[in-house]
Amino acid sequence: MSQTSEANGANGADENADGAQPTINILTQYIKDLSFEAPNAPGILRGQPRGPSINIGVNVGANALNDADGDFDVRLTLNASAGEGADRLFHVELEYGGVFRLQNFPQEHLLPMLFIECPRLLFPFARQVIADVTRNGGFPPLMIDPIDFAKLFQQRMAEEQARQQVQTS
């Protein structure tokens, strides 16, 4: 067993100054808010147009729950609409959360973990909720394509930097 820990150290495994490995645990997952609207049902269900435009919005939020434990509430918000105006087929909103325990991560790694890795872990479950609710609403299940949370995080950080530059000017 000591050979394994020595091998991990020799291979450059991420450890903090105390030698403890960073860990991430999902303590719980939950639906905070779920809304489904099919404003033109049942009439629209009989003559569904082919290929309606589908708009999808994504947002990620995170809050510390108890700094001593390293617990964070991470929420993934997904909005999806099919069709527009009088031809709207459906609109679904989901706020799906998880409580994560992040331990032994360097401070500079916390934000990427909270806004990239945690939502990446939540996404398959939120995607399934959206697919189920649209199917149960009488439509083909909406299978949202995978989301690049790293790209969303980079865009968010760039917007924040631009906002700070405007404020200091």
The span from the CA of 129 to the CA of 132, in Å, is 5
pLDDT value for 115: 96
Domain CATH number, residue 78:
3.10.420.10
Question: Does residue 121 lie in a domain region?
Answer: yes
Question: Does residue 1 lie in a domain region?
Answer: no
Contact between 16 and 22 under an 8 Å Cβ cutoff? The reply is yes
Domain carrying residue 102: 17-161
pLDDT value for 49: 55
Residues of the chain with pLDDT under 70: 1-18, 45-51, 67-68, 169
In total, how many domains does the chain have? 1
The alpha carbon of 127 is separated from its chain's Cα centroid by a whole number of angstroms, namely 10
Contact between 114 and 74 under an 8 Å Cβ cutoff? The reply is yes
User: What is the edge-to-edge ordering of all strands in the sheet holding 54-66?
Assistant: 23-37, 90-103, 71-82, 54-66
pTM: 0.81
Question: Does residue 8 lie in a domain region?
Answer: no
How does pLDDT run across 98-141, given as a tens digit for each residue? 999 999 999 999 999 999 999 999 999 999 999 999 999 999 99
Question: Does residue 2 lie in a domain region?
Answer: no
pLDDT value for 86: 80
